[in-house]
Amino acid sequence: MTQAYRVAVLGATGAVGTELLELLKERDFPASELKLLASERSAGKKLPFKGEDLPVEAVSEAALENVDLVLASAGGSISKVWAPKAAEKGAVVIDNSSAFRMNPEVPLIVPEVNAEAATKHKGIIANPNCTTILMSVAIFPLHKLKSIKRIVVATYQSASGAGARAMEEVKNQSLDILQGKEAVATIFPYPLAFNLFPHNSPLNSLGYCEEEMKMVNETRKIFNNQDIKITATCVRVPVLRAHSEAINLEFETPFNIEEARKILSNSPGVKLIEDWEANYFPMPIEATGKDEVLVGRIRQDISHECGLELWISGDQIRKGAALNAVQIAELLVEKNML
């Protein structure tokens, strides 16, 4: 008989939290008990799960007693407080915030890339940033064959990256603009409907924003390779859900395009989408709700004989967050490490 685990979802009422519940149900995760935890403000709400309405509790030390697994998606400040406490009580915490990603004691895991590193956890495992996850799944199969020297990536990031309220804001702004009204921005610094702007995370002294540096630093950690040169430009675009990325890869030696296509068409977590006659390639509207990262428009970089160009789209809430966390949990179950 399969062992069942006591699971807590921290941040259960958010966009990623509700997706976690959906995935636990869809994938029939072996949970004997499920606790839904959130802030005091959300306590008392009920969320559906497998035909029941489960109550949301305020997170507390008492609520974290007798829990085997915590799937946390409540933001960095919350995770910094509660993840160590949950780990001290014997739970394994898979944290979706940026709180522990660059901590050398905490594994940063994309199961399709570095699953073995998850076994070295000390109670906390970090889920990477959404853009990093999507890119890693798409390019690691190529990196395994020929080492990547340099990555130049531009992201086209949907509103979902800032949560459910941001998605609603874009919908409301669109309606206002179409009715001739002024678009009001409260979640984002500027209106996103019918607009785009460089990612709104804080800038460093070099002019790179926090989101761009996450892609640089996290990719190196996941690939266990500090020598890869990486530069990123991250942009918010008026898409509700699913991010896209234009990726330029430089290898040590030329990479045959047909070989790249063959590798990616057989890689876990990837779906190749290419119809050159129809000019049809991955789109966020088609990536929404999908588990796979859609990859296509693979072409030779005409400016560099060792360069390849890729275009990808992936569901930020799903594979870019919740699904990756659940896959890590499944990996721990498989290895009997919960």
Q: Which residues are catalytic?
A: 130, 243
Give the CA distances from residue 54 to residues 23, 198, 213, 329, in Å, rounded to whole numbers and listed in that order: 16, 39, 38, 21
Q: In a 3-state reduction of DSSP, which class is residue 55?
A: strand
Pair 124, 234: CB distance under 8 Å: no
- Exposure string of 228-254, with b = 16+ CB inside 10 Å and e = fewer, is bebebbbebbebbbbbbbebbbbbeee
CA distance 36 to 46: 9
CA distance 91 to 282: 39
Whole-angstrom distance, CA of residue 338 vs CA of residue 108:
17
Whether residue 309 contacts residue 138, with contact meaning beta carbons closer than 8 Å, is answered with: no
